[in-house]
Copies of this chain bind each other. A is one copy, B any other.
Amino acid sequence: MNLVQHNAVYNMLSLGIASMLFTSLFLWIARDRVLPKFRMAVMVSATVTSIAAYHYFRMFDSFKEAYPVGGTVDAGFAGYNVGYRYVDWLLTVPLLLVELVAVMGLARAMQKSLLTRLVPAAAAMIILGYPGDMHTDLWGIPNVGWAILSTIPFLYILYVIFIEIGKSLAAQSERVQRLLKGARLLLLATWGVYPITFAISLGQGTAAPSFDAVVAREIGYSIADILAKCAFGLIIFTVARIKSAEENKEFAATEFKD
């Protein structure tokens, strides 16, 4: 890997660490700026970015060791552990959906019904995607096969978020509706980056992905992660702030000017 390629990934992973770490610190401390009933959503957001911060430290070290300047493609492929990303997503993606549902403040039965479907679907999506990114044609199924299998729960999650959760949006204030629709679009846009990134090295089968493919993959996954976890978490926090102000005039008076 040459110096420019190496530094591009190196800096992107360091940006990932810093974004995750300090969004976490901010959210953990800022949770008392919302009413108690919305703190769980903020704390789950903080947990998501904290889990990701840990995995970005791991990925950063793994990358530095596997892809030194001047190293070969095969050595990097064998040494870099892409599994950190999937372990991270296995924990954080279901929690991102918990955040989204928690901040909406739905009735308990509705909340339970959504989560008992969204959480397993999210886990299935991640677990089925991993063999495709390992480039080993696990159980004789090629990368593209795993990609298709993983897309099924992905489409189901989109259906639930856009159609079923969409119906509950009507009960929210106009400002909250606008923000939640923005959050939903952010999820769609960033979750859409993962399959595109995934597809870059899809055609290479069990061969080691080229350096260019590795650089594109790491940059794509990192940008998507920062938007889907940090930006999404901060939107959830903002929704919680607005709903706190809407529900409690006294809280609004001490926290907000208008």
Residues of A that sit less than 8 Å from B by CB: 3-4, 7, 10-11, 14-15, 17-19, 21-22, 25-26, 28-31, 33, 35-37, 39-40, 43, 47, 50-51, 54-55, 58, 69, 78, 81, 83-84, 86-88, 90-91, 105, 107-108, 134, 136, 138, 254-258
Contact = CB atoms under 8 A, between A and B. Distances in A.
Contacts of A18: 51, 54-55, 87-88, 91
Contact of A256 (B28, B37, B54): B37
B19 A91 contact: yes
Nearest to A107: B258
A86 to B, nearest CB: 7
B254 A83 contact: no
B51 A22 contact: yes
B14 A87 contact: yes
A39 B43 contact: no
Given A11-B87, A18-B51, A30-B43, 12 more contacts: A4-B138, A7-B134, A14-B58, A15-B87, A15-B90, A22-B47, A28-B29, A29-B43, A33-B40, A35-B254, A36-B254, A69-B78
A22 B107 CA distance: 27
Contacts of A36: 33, 254-255
Contacts of A58: 14
A11 to B, nearest CB: 4
Contacts of A258: 107-108
Copies of this chain assembled into the complex: 2
A192 B107 CA distance: 36
Nearest to A255: B36
Contact of A26 (B29, B47, B54): B47
A25 B11 contact: no
Contacts of A28: 29
Nearest to A31: B29
Given A33-B39, A136-B4, A258-B108, A17 B54 contact: yes
Contacts of A136: 4
A55 B78 CA distance: 27
B255 A15 contact: no
Nearest to A11: B83
